[in-house]
Structure 1
Amino acid sequence: MNFLSRVLIFGLLYTIMTVSVLAKECSATDTGTLEGCKDKTVKASGPRIGMFDVPEYFSTADPSFSGGEGMQDYMSVGDTQIILHTKDEVQCPENIEVVGDLKQLDLGEGKAWVVEVTEFKCL
């Protein structure tokens, strides 16, 4: 390989590594983007929803139900209902923006998206 080819290859590798380090958050804007953000740090916003508006089996994911610490809340992204695990009580009246790790749990009766919230803010 000549010098120019090596410079181009190293430049391309450097760009790929830099972009992957800087792209820390995956943006979940609708139901379709959730699968692509699975097992990544996600930033999502949407309306909060009440505990009586989600499937009953969502309660089995509650950290206090399984002997853990924290609180559970709910929001929707597009048409998908999402469980939020937080350390603090969420006081947002309507819309919320969260950042945290997105995962999908099998809760027996169905699957659920869960965000382990590291930060949130009211919109």
Structure 2
Amino acid sequence: MTSWTHDELERVGDARELQVASRRPDGTLRRYVTIWHVRSGDAVYIRSAHGPDNGWFRRAMAAGTGRIRSGGVERDVTFELADPGVRHDVDAAYHAKYDRYGPAPVGAVTGPDVLQTTLRVMPRD
């Protein structure tokens, strides 16, 4: 496991969207899915806007690894459930970044059940 560089965090954090692909059991990547994401501190977080049954989220949880593309950065990553203590900071980051799109889409990633669908995206070597 490694950490994001300052440049990667800036570029990914500033990008409007992120593409995520989980790994299949044979190691190949599934198709990329475009989602919203945020940076909070030195971490990148993603959330399922449609709960834990969303396909990309279920596959990311099952695989635990994948690849992201965002802001010109492409990295192999691991996915882990976020610590509940980051909830308010991640909510605030989503609001700051995406409130311009209206309450319904932002509400889908800041609602009452988001903790079970908040993943910390960690870069891999």
Shorter-chain TM range is: under 0.3
> With structure 2 as the length reference, what TM-score do the two structures score?
0.26
Structure having greater relative contact order (Cα 8 Å, sep ≥ 6): 2
Q: Comparing both structures, which one devotes a greater share of its residues to strand?
A: 1
> With structure 1 as the length reference, what TM-score do the two structures score?
0.26
Which structure would you say has the larger Rg? 1
Q: Comparing both structures, which one devotes a greater share of its residues to helix?
A: 2
